[in-house]
Structures are given as C-alpha cells and as structure tokens.
Structure 1
Amino acid sequence: MTLPDQSLQTQVAQDVLHPWLARSNVGNDDWWQRLKERGTPLIDYQTPHRCRVTFVWRDPEGNERHSSCRHVWLCINCLTDHHAMQPPISLIRLPGTDVWHYTVLLDARWCGSYCFIPDDGDQGLMQAQGVDGAAAPEARIQQWHALRAWWRSALPHGKDDPLNAGRRWISGRGHATSALHMPRATIADSWLRWDQGESLPDPERAATWWQAHRWNSTLLENERSVWVMTTGRRCPSKRPLAVFLDGGFWTQQMPLPGALIEMTRAGQLPEATYLFIDSVDNATRRRELTCNPLFWQAVEAELLPQAQHWARFDDTPGSALVAGQSFGGLSALYAGLHWPERFGKVLAQSGSFWWPRRELMLLDTLPDDACWLLHQMEEGLGQNGRLELYLEAGRQEHLIHHVHEQLLNVLEHQRHHVHYRVREGGHDALWWRDGLLSGLRWLWRELPHPPLA
C-alpha cells in the first residue's frame, strides 16, 4: 500500500512571511494586542479552494537570548501528527523576537483541531524520525511505532492556542486543543455558537427527561455510567431510540445533548430517546468495541430493557439506531450486522474497519487477518439484513478512507442502503459532532418531526 503524502499541506516556503510577521513592530506588546483582537490562525485564500494558514505562538520567556524554548511542535490532527508519518514539525522563531510561526496549506473546507507543544528539552522529546516509504516493511513498522511513541510522550504537554478566539476543548487523549474551521467548512449553527462561547441548552433543565445511571453489568463484570434523555412526550412509545457509544465524551466534554435539544425544538429531528453509554477507560474501550459479541449481548439483554423502564421508546424490530466513532464506528456496524432485528440503522464515523491491523498502510501486501469485519461480510455476514447506514470518513484519515472504499463495495453488493460522506478533516471530534447531527437527520428523515411548542 502507498504511504500518505502530506506535502501539499506541510511543504510551504516558510521564508515568505505573512504580512503580519513583516510589520516593523512585530513582537511588541501593541502588535500582540492587535493580533489577539484579530485572532489566530491567520487565514488567507491562495486559490478559491485552498488557504494559507499561519499559526503564531508567543514565547512567554521572550526572545532566543532569554528563552529556554527550543521547539514548538505543531500538532494538527492527521496532518502533522503520527498519522502523517512525517517527522514532527516545529514552528519557527522569528529572530530577535518572542514570535514563533508556521504556515501550511489547507483545503478551504477543512475542519479540525490543533495544539502547540513547547519544548525546552526537559520533556525528553528528542527529534523523532518519520517513516521511510522506501524502507522494507519491517523497518517501516519499527519507524512508525517509534513515531507513535514520540507523540504519546509529547501530547500530554499540548497547549491550546491562546490567540484563538474560539472555545478550547479537551481532546480524547486529554490534552487541550483549539478548533480550526476554514472559511468553507460545514458546521451546524449550534456548534458554531458553542465554539464562540455561548451555552447550549442544559439537558437537566431543557430535556423532557434526563437522568444519569450506573449500569452494573453481570455479563461484562464491570460498572459504568449511562445517561438517558428524551426530547418530547407526545407519544413516548413511538420515540425512536438512538444509542451513542463513548457517551461520556458526548455528554461531559462535547455537549451533544444540547445540540439535539435545539434541533428537535426547530423541527429538524423527531422527538426521540437517547441512550449514552460510557466507555469506562481506554483499555475497556479497546476490548469491548472491537467486534466483541459479549458487549452487545450485555447491551441487548441487560441495558436496553432497563432503559425502556427509564424512558420509553419504539421497540419495533430494527428501529433502533446505534452511533459511534473510530472503534465505536467499527462496533456500531458490527452490532447492526449481527443484530439487524434490533439495530436497523447505523451511524459510523471514522470506523476502524482496518482492525486488528493498524499498520496496514506500511505493508506491501494485505495480511490475512487485516480488516476482520470486512472479511466476515465477504463470507456472508450481513447478507440477510437490509441496514440503513450513514458512514463518514475524513479525507486525511488515509488508512480509514482507503478501507471505507472497500467496505462500500461489499455493503452495496449486499444491498444495504448506504449514504457515504467524505469530510475535509482528520480523525477528529470537531467534524464528528457535525456529522452526528447530519446523520441523525438522514437516518430519521422519514419520521415526523414537527417543531416543539
């Protein structure tokens, strides 16, 4: 397989300075104040479809004579992180100033997150190497593992962009990030206002029903939080059910319930019952969401009957919807294929359908155990169901995007109803959140959804 080429995004002549960086007062307090008022990154159209994006960071210790900072690593989701397979990229200091900068080219529809990682040498972040596409597969895999290890050690030091006027948020890896929405990026009004600092409706006050519970599973031998929300009471037994994996993220870090409430009020979604399932921790998530039948047996036998008791929903066969991202997207499709009589609608974003061979892009030939779920489908799994599927992948998720193209052929051969959308982004919740709203609207397009009074 071919390694991703990110040259269009990262190889920009850094000596061609943005006009802001060429000003005579660059780096003084007035310059920084005016830059803060404008906001960063600095975005300028290069063509109707591509933009030059200049990132700027202020060294709190001053210029190079006073500062211990040696690098400011730039982490743009899927463009300069380990997904790119290139050496890490550092911002460049403007000599004699406290200004660090770097310019990239991005699609005008790009939507993604980024952070800065200042490095004075004490963090032990030696310059990492990229992956040599000309090397033997075994060597490429070793280089890739070393690069991933470098990013795992670096990301805990990640900082958001203080000059970005948008809301900072905490990524799934736990470090602070900032949002970058290019001029033509697709973003729902709810998320745009939330990014600008406004609050979305609080489900504890605005939903018709909101409760947090603890699910103690006998089958899984563990316990976790789950949240249940309803957005209407006209006909509880007819409310469709949507199950969200990684529910802790979508309720505690990214306020999806508030966006769902707003869309229901506006008549863009039907009244519904929503069930958010926490993933406990990363180890549990990897174990339960990678095509694990026991997890879904527990959901079916233990959790859904309890959820029906908490908040009624339509129990018609095949009416439930399941949504997930990454391993959650893999798990959502797995559930639909195995239990179509329950989960007839699947919303999968950036699904990890490469599982269990993450290093797929580094190999010259496809291993027999790669893309396990896809092989199961080729052998007949899912051919007796007729699922409705809303699938999305980021264009810069090269491995995931590649495997999706193969998956689509199998799904269409089995005559499932598939809507596939490629997003200008990476492996990123910033576009997943928008896609969730679009996916729900598409999957529930035939249900009545009058505006709430």
Structure 2
Amino acid sequence: MRPISPALPRHPLLQRADLGSPAWWQAVQQTGTPLIQSMDEASDQVIFLWRDPQGGPQNSACQQVYIDVYSHTPHPLQQLSSLQRIGQSDVWCWQTVLPKDWCGSYFLLPAEKQHLPPSGATRAQMRQWWTELMVARAQSDSLNPLPTHSNGSGVSLSRLSLSQAVKHAVWQQLESGLETDSRNSPALRGQLQTLRWNSSRLHTDRNVWLYRTQGKNADTVDSNLPLVLLLDGQYWAQHMPLFPALDELSARGDLPAAVYLFIDAMNHTQRASDLTCNADFWLAVQQELLPQACALQAFSADPRRSLVAGQSYGGLAAMYAAWHWPQRFGLVLSQSGSFWWPDANETGDQGWLTRQVRSGSVPPGSLRVWMEVGCYETDMTGVNQAMCAALKSAGHPISYREFRGGHDWICWRNGLLSGLCDLLSALA
C-alpha cells in the first residue's frame, strides 16, 4: 500500500475534455466513487474525487481537502494527506494503490484558510486541531453508492470495499435487502428495551440497550439465557445497528437465544476512563447495571454463559474484566485490543494486562477467548500476538486470527459476528 504520484490518473473519465462540467459530474455519479482501475492480479488503483460546491479557485475559499483512509494514509499527526485541485476546475482528486481485498472506511475534510493547521503547533495542539476539525467538518463521500456509517464520535464515514473484500454473509444479505428497498430497515424479531443506568459509583448517567433475541429453541428458560455485554454499545445500537444481524443468526440457529446489553461509552473522556483496566467500572457493572437489567429480563449468572465483547480500548477492557472476575465473565471477544496500555509506545509484550496474564493467577481453562487484529494495524499486531501467547501459556483456550483490514469499525463488524457465533454456538 503506497500513495502514488499525484499526477492526473489515466482513468477514462479524467481524460474527458468536459472534465468538471455538469455532464461530467453526472457521469461520475453514475459510475460512483472512488473510481477503481485494476493494476494487476493483486492491486487496484483507487481514485478519490470531491466536487467543490463553490466552483473553481476564482470563486472558492477551499484551501485543502484532507482525506483519511483508515489504516492506510499516514496518521494526521505525522503527515496530512490531501486531494489536489485539477487545474481551474471544481474537481479535487487523490489516488492511491490498495490490495484487491481491501475493506475500510474513509472521510473527506474540506478546509478553508481559517481551518488550516496552526503554524509551529506542538503534537498536542495538532491533535486538538485535527479532532475539532474532524468533528466539525469531516464528511462522507456523497458520490459513493455504498451505505454510510459513523465512527464512535458520530463522524459520517464512507466505505471502500474492493472486489475481493471479505464480508460476512449476514451483512451481505441485510444490505442486499436494503438496496432492494431502502425505505425500510428489517423489522426486529427480538425484544428491545432502553434503560438509563445512573451509577452512584461512577457518577455517570448513560443509556444501555437491552436486546433479547429469539432462538430456534422456544423452550429456553430465561434464567439460562447467555449474557453478552457489548462495549461501545452506542455504536452497535445506533451507528451500525447489530440487532437485525443477531436476529438472522439466531433464526438460523448459529446463535442461541440470548440477552445482549449495549453499554454507551458516553464520550471520549469517559470511555478512556472506563475501558482502561478500571476496577470501579466493572464493579459498577456487576453491582449496579446487571441487577437493574436482570429485573427487566432474566439471564444466566454462569460465567461459562457470560461474554464480554469490545474493540480497541474495549478489547482491552473485555480481557481485563474476565481476567479479574472469571467467576462472572468466562467468555471474551477482543478485537484489536489496546494491550499496549498504559504505554502508547509499547510494541512488544510488556503491556500491563499481558504481564498480569503471564502471572497465571486465573486457573487454566477458566476462560474461552476469541481474538482478532487487523494485518494493517502495524502498531497493534505485536501486542495482540503477545497477549495470545500469554493466554495459551496460562492454559486458556483461544482462537486468534489476523483479518485483512485495519483499525476500523467496518472491519470489526465482520469479526464481531464470527466471534459471537464461535463462542456462543455451543450454548444453545
């Protein structure tokens, strides 16, 4: 994966004499962006476009159109990636090369003079500048025909899925249905309730979504239903709703009837506190949230039927919860776990939680773990491999894989379904 020359790509649309005209933009819309050309058996040239609503440079205040292709473009604190305007037209363009099995998210960020990075800024100032600008001005690609989604902050993202990209069959089925009739989302077959968790221990008040699915076995006793805690629950409840996928897998018999709790992370600050090996958070979950939820819908207290799932910080938190309370949580689904914590520069096996696991304080076989990390997460693969090795040495069954993707919700949604099926299918 490497950015290639910003020279005008040799795509037929970009060679037209009427480039930038209404007829040309209509042709682009019919084709859909990004434009894709095969380079060889393994890679594609991918061309991103943006139409300046103010027209050419004579009338436009736009100075840059930044692009962030998750786990491909350099981190904005290291190097900013930007489209370039083509001549005097309203067309902005950027091209790169990606493997044919690429699946990931991206957004565009047009910036006027007042939005450009501050001169001589420190790393902390650059981070603040980028975060604020992203929340205020980032946009999805309006010419991309695939459904948009959002990141944890609600920023609208576009999807890039090349010809050989892997997609879980259930997501493919659900999205095919939406393409046939985009007016209606699938009707939920389970029971959805929303509760407010007012935590006296954490001094927080947040949403929690409780979803009880219907399995093939209609005789399941409620007190025996598996419990699944999903961290960053606002994402899986609102930004990328998981309910229809759970319904479909449950109807097929790939998942048993179960109770799912989607816990809202609230905001970045609260998330960074709750999900970084925070004992208070997990005591509050067990002493406050679970009794409140159980009063609405009964579920199992058996750790062998209790699963915690999370991504990034959430993957770290899921492992922490099971390691410190194996008597309550015996199943772990960790995706791109931040096992470097608390040292952001950690790339080996010295993360705090990995050292805890190496101590072997939890009896062998107490936990069943399903882990994955993206092959393009260059700063995450080492610490996840180290955690996997530590768990194996401690005698806990583990399934580990590296998927073709990056640190990206659109990739995690595939693994989340696969991991749930792997860990829960035997509990029907």
Contact 2:305 2:427 in 1 (8 A): no
Q: CA 1:332 to 1:421, structure 2 compared with 1: closer, same or farther past 3 Å?
A: same
Aligned match for 1:24, one of 14, 17, 22: 17
Aligned match for 1:67, one of 31, 54, 60: 60
- Matched ranges for 1:51-200 at <5 A: 51-82=44-75, 86-125=78-117, 145=124, 147-156=126-135, 157-192=137-172, 193-194=174-175, 196=179, 197=182, 199-200=184-185
Contact 1:128 1:150 in 2 (8 A): no
TM-score, scaled relative to structure 1: 0.86
Paired letter, 1:155: M
Q: What 5-or-longer segments of structure 1 have no aligned partner?
A: 1-7, 130-141, 449-453
Is 1:357 equivalent to 2:343 in the alignment?
A: yes
Aligned length: 418
- Matched ranges for 1:314-325 at <5 A: 314-325=300-311
Q: In the alignment, which residue of structure 1 is the partner of 2:186?
A: 201
1:82 match: secondary structure: coil
Aligned match for 1:41, one of 34, 40, 56: 34
Per-residue deviation, 1:13: 5.5
Q: CA 1:291 to 1:110, structure 2 compared with 1: closer, same or farther past 3 Å?
A: same
Range moving further from structure 2, 211-220 or 322-331: 211-220
Q: Distance in 2 between matches of 1:419 and 1:14?
A: 45
CA RMSD of aligned residues (A): 2.4
Contact 1:76 1:113 in 2 (8 A): yes
1:228 match: secondary structure: strand
TM-score, scaled relative to structure 2: 0.90
Q: CA 1:93 to 1:317, structure 2 compared with 1: closer, same or farther past 3 Å?
A: closer
Per-residue deviation, 1:12: 4.3
Is 1:430 equivalent to 2:422 in the alignment?
A: no
Q: In the alignment, which residue of structure 2 is the partner of 1:403?
A: 383
1:398 match: secondary structure: coil
Q: Distance in 2 between matches of 1:446 and 1:198?
A: 36
Q: Distance in 2 between matches of 1:438 and 1:188?
A: 8
Aligned match for 1:229, one of 180, 188, 211: 211
Contact 2:365 2:397 in 1 (8 A): no
Contact 1:217 1:223 in 2 (8 A): yes
2:59 match: secondary structure: coil
Q: In the alignment, which residue of structure 2 is the partner of 1:133?
A: none
Is 1:215 equivalent to 2:197 in the alignment?
A: yes
Contact 2:108 2:140 in 1 (8 A): yes
Per-residue deviation, 1:396: 2.2
Per-residue deviation, 1:33: 0.7
Q: What 5-or-longer segments of structure 2 have no aligned partner?
A: none
Paired letter, 1:421: R
Q: In the alignment, which residue of structure 2 is the partner of 1:347?
A: 333
Per-residue deviation, 1:158: 0.6
Paired letter, 1:408: C
Q: CA 1:79 to 1:255, structure 2 compared with 1: closer, same or farther past 3 Å?
A: same
Q: In the alignment, which residue of structure 2 is the partner of 1:390?
A: 370
Paired letter, 1:307: A
Q: Distance in 2 between matches of 1:37 and 1:181?
A: 17
Q: Distance in 2 between matches of 1:299 and 1:202?
A: 30
Q: Distance in 2 between matches of 1:234 and 1:31?
A: 60
2:360 match: secondary structure: coil
Q: In the alignment, which residue of structure 1 is the partner of 2:316?
A: 330
Q: CA 1:375 to 1:317, structure 2 compared with 1: closer, same or farther past 3 Å?
A: closer
Per-residue Cα deviation, 1:366-397 (whole angstroms, up to 9, x for no partner): 7x9x6111122223344545321111112222
Paired letter, 1:102: W
Q: In the alignment, which residue of structure 1 is the partner of 2:358?
A: 378
Contact 2:67 2:107 in 1 (8 A): yes
Contact 1:115 1:160 in 2 (8 A): yes
Range moving further from structure 2, 310-319 or 290-299: 310-319
Contact 2:18 2:24 in 1 (8 A): yes
Per-residue deviation, 1:18: 2.2
Q: Distance in 2 between matches of 1:402 and 1:183?
A: 29
Q: Distance in 1 between matches of 2:133 and 2:296?
A: 43
Q: Distance in 2 between matches of 1:127 and 1:395?
A: 35
Contact 1:81 1:151 in 2 (8 A): no
Aligned residues with identical type, % of pairs: 38
Per-residue Cα deviation, 1:115-146 (whole angstroms, up to 9, x for no partner): 111112121335899xxxxxxxxxxxx65x45
Contact 1:212 1:228 in 2 (8 A): yes
